[in-house]
Amino acid sequence: MTRERRTSIRIDLISDTAAQPTPAMRRAMAKAPTGDEQRGEDPSVNRLCERAADLLGKEAALFLPSGIMCNQVALAVHCRAGDEVLAASNAHVLQSEGAAVATITGALVTPIDAQRGMFQPGDLARSLRRRKLRAPRPRVACIEQTSNRGGGSVWPLAKLQGIADIAGANGLAMHLDGARLMNAVVASGVPARAFAAPFDSVWLGLTKGLGCPVGAVLAGDRDFIDAAWWWKHRLGGAMRQAGILAAAGLHALDHHVDRLEQDHGAARELARRLQSIPGIDIAPALVETNIVLFDLADERSGADDLADYLLGEGIRVGVESGRRLRAVTHLGIQPDDLVEVADSVERYMLDMSKPQG
């Protein structure tokens, strides 16, 4: 995509990462006290880590540049080469991290069939191999809250507990990918520490719905975080005056959590509008948070064609597959934008249904 084309995007629903840091967030960043993060001397980073550990009900936390690094550091601590990580087949850690688990830790990631990104405790039990010399050693069950490719679905607490029971009985650690954990918290009313409780390690993404420019916080018990520091440094994740970034996280925890409900409302509103358009298949009841998956109902058009048309109108959405598109709401999206998006989709679909010739 050319630079010109990108700057002409007015309504960006490609991901919640499209949210820009707000003026108030930038002011908080500019004022942040800083120090050498790698030496544990950055007061803003230390505050953010204490705050995140408390929010997640864990002993300690670690600031990292990205969510991918959180997943990779955590799995490197939990696993050795030849161990096995189990995750939903469409999980980010399996699909979207450049096979980092295989390259960094040397562990195998086994996919578990999932509906809307979620599997049942029994599915985990059935996926566990019998302990044999020739089998990989199952070590970690990895869960994404909310499920990204599952359409922002929220794992119910009881299901997480059921999975933790199976994991515990089989000596597996539990790891939570919390790129959108606060979306799950706001949508369900379940506190973050309750969602985090069944897990040995959990991270909180700052750059998705929370709207920060950089960063994520990984939490666990003291021994886990001590070991994680080693991997953070080893992977080049130790930073210097990172308090400027941590200040954005602290600001987001103060000001951008409750407002996630607006993003969820916007996603529901978009889903309702799309549902009324002939040729679009969508189940608004499945839109639990800020991700809207919708399908083209027939063969007349492909998802790429619709996405290209929308781009011409200054609207960017994601293409999931030949017929499926994805729109993600965030703090840069206004209610009027949704009307415009739905109107553009409707115009395109009407055009498609005219006799060609």
Q: Which residues would be at the binding site for ligand PLP (CB under 6 A)?
A: 66-68, 92, 144, 148, 177, 179, 205, 207-208, 216
User: For residues 184 and 307, which CB has a smaller minimum distance to ligand PLP in the complex?
Assistant: 184
The residue (of 86 and 216) whose beta carbon lies closer to ligand PLP is: 216
Closest separation between CB of residue 130 and ligand PLP, Å? 30
**Burial label, 95 (beta-carbon count in 10 A; 0-12, 13-18, 19+):** middle
Report which of 208, 241, 250 is spatially closest to residue 70, judged by C-alpha positions: 208
Give 144 or 313: the residue with its C-beta nearer to ligand PLP.
Answer: 144
Task: State which residue, 206 or 345, has the beta carbon closest to ligand PLP.
Answer: 206
CA 322/CA 72 separation, integer angstroms: 31
Cβ distance to ligand PLP smaller for residue 207 or 344? 207
CB of 207 to ligand PLP, least distance (A): 5
Q: How far is the CB of 91 from ligand PLP (least distance, A)?
A: 7
Helix/strand/coil for 179? coil
Burial readout 104-119 (b: 16 or more C-beta within 10 A, e: otherwise): bbebbbbebebebbbb
Q: Quote the least distance from Cβ 169 to ligand PLP, whole Å.
A: 27
CB 294 within 8 A of CB 267: no
Q: Is 222 helix (H, G, I), strand (E, B) or coil?
A: helix
| Shortest spacing between CB 230 and ligand PLP, in angstroms | 20
Q: How far apart are CA 350 and CA 52, in angstroms?
A: 49
Under 8 Å between Cβ of 330 and 211: yes
Residue number, 105 or 207, with CB nearest to ligand PLP: 207
Q: Which is nearer to ligand PLP, 173 or 217 (CB)?
A: 217
Q: What 8-state DSSP symbol labels residue 17?
A: G
- Give the nearest distance from C-beta 277 to ligand PLP in angstroms: 27
> Is the bond into 207 cis (omega within 30 degrees of 0)?
no
In the DSSP assignment, the letter for residue 153 is B
Nearest to 143 by CA among 167, 183, 178, 193: 178
Least separation, in Å, of the C-beta of 313 and ligand PLP?
26
Cβ-closest residue to ligand PLP?
67
